[in-house]
Amino acid sequence: MTDYSTARLEQAMSAIRGYIDAEMERSAQSVMGRTSGFWKAEFAARPNYPSVFDYLAFRREGFTHGMADGFSFDLANARAQSLAAEEGHARRTYEIFRQSADPARVAALDEAALGAPFVFEHAGVNRSASFWTNAITALRVKDILGGRGLSARPLDMLEIGAGWGCMAQQVHQLLDVRSYTIIDLPQNLFLSSTYVAATANRRPLFARGQEKSVKTEPGSLLCALPGTVPAIGQKYDVVVNSFSLQEMDLETVQAYLAWIGQALKDDGVFISFNAHGKAGVRAPSDYPLDAFRLESLGMFRAFPSGLLNTIPYEMVLTPRKGGMPPDAGLLDSLGCLFQLGLGDDLAPICEQFVQGRLAPATEKVLRQLGGFFSPASDRRKAALAGEVSSAMPAIHAYLAGLNSFVGGDAPAALPLFRKALEDGLKGFARLRACAHLALLRGQKSLPEWTADFDALLAYPELGRMLENRDRAQFIAQFDRIMSVDLPGRRAP
């Protein structure tokens, strides 16, 4: 059992905080070390740098606000959410994430008591909501690496943006980790490095000094502020980023991807779980992928953590050795369609896309559907003309129904959503179509939704929307997704 004694924690925290204090000002002056507007707001809304006393219960005290724990302090009113609310959050989280992975696989992973998480029984084990959320990511990383034959060898792993360290701790249970590196902003690096050092029994090292002068050692945890990245001379088997590139300024994202392209081993893999439209990355093609080969693309997780959330997509990338980088126009079309919940429906097309064997007719339709992502309704309607309805009937009916729904044309939207369901619309898009039908009919339940997924438990906001016949939130989300304006972006 790992020793969480206050003396060991104090020693690790002192070393990590000393490193941060010495390097943070210089790091902040670098492109990678900039704190985006998103994270400035997050850091301002929570306490940072807990003491040893606070760290022993940091997961109950608001220090992880914005990082997947449901329980957090309402700092404006200095009032904590109730335990009952946290239990409800855990139930909803379990319901969502059991759709993406076998609960037995998650239950086989242990959760450290450090941080005093709120745990509740699901699948025969007591785990926190954040544990389930992060486990889906960790298990997916293991499966990706297993599919590439990498999971059986000792790995040098790098995580950019490790939150408070939960996924990293789980990965140490799933894989043979030779060394682990975390790059993050100071406030987050303090939390995650302390957590991983304690729970995975890792020896902290620190990135500083001359260019490419720092390398990892077996059993080490290399801690790096973003501005110290040039000091890292290590090559990595695996680089993972989940949900933080999407929160950075575009220039920062470009700098990170340029560095990752050089930091991967020849057979290394970069795994990105990110979306667009949250900060500097406004469209999928804003991710600079010229140095990479796109090995797989798909919607990450079967159902998002919130009904109206931005939907991340999974990109598995390897060093490009000849050939062409991913087609930007097709990548934009697919990534934007994911935002409407169409991951399951697009899975076969994504596989053909990454393998370079899209049929010309399918490619033509995908490029045309890129025109749907425009603030102008007439452009959206034009993008659905021609061969789209015969090539992708369920997707066509769903998109046409959405266009009518946001335009207030209920008589047109109703049969279109019904047709999309009849034509086999899948997954989260199917749930959304059922919700739109219920709203249009004034129903407070989802009669067409028959899957083994309690959508009203998982998404209580949907229940409130049905109760109040509130279409406005769906329309506002649709307008946000359309604001990418792909036709405008592609204009010469």
At residue 61 the predicted structure's pLDDT band, cuts being 50, 70 and 90, is confident
Q: What is the pLDDT of residues 188-208, one digit of tens each?
A: 999 999 999 999 999 999 999
Q: What is the pLDDT of residues 390-440, one digit of tens each?
A: 999 999 999 999 999 999 999 999 999 999 999 999 999 999 999 999 999
Neighbours of 327 (CB within 10 A): 18
Does the pLDDT value for residue 317 go beyond 60?
yes
Can you give the pLDDT at residue 70? 46
At residue 81 the predicted structure's pLDDT band, cuts being 50, 70 and 90, is low
The pTM of the full predicted model, rounded to 2 decimals, is: 0.94
Mean pLDDT of the chain: 93
**What are the residue ranges spanned by the domains of the chain?**
6-326, 360-489
Superfamily of domain 6-326: Vaccinia Virus protein VP39 (3.40.50.150)
Residue that wins the pLDDT comparison between 72 and 215: 215
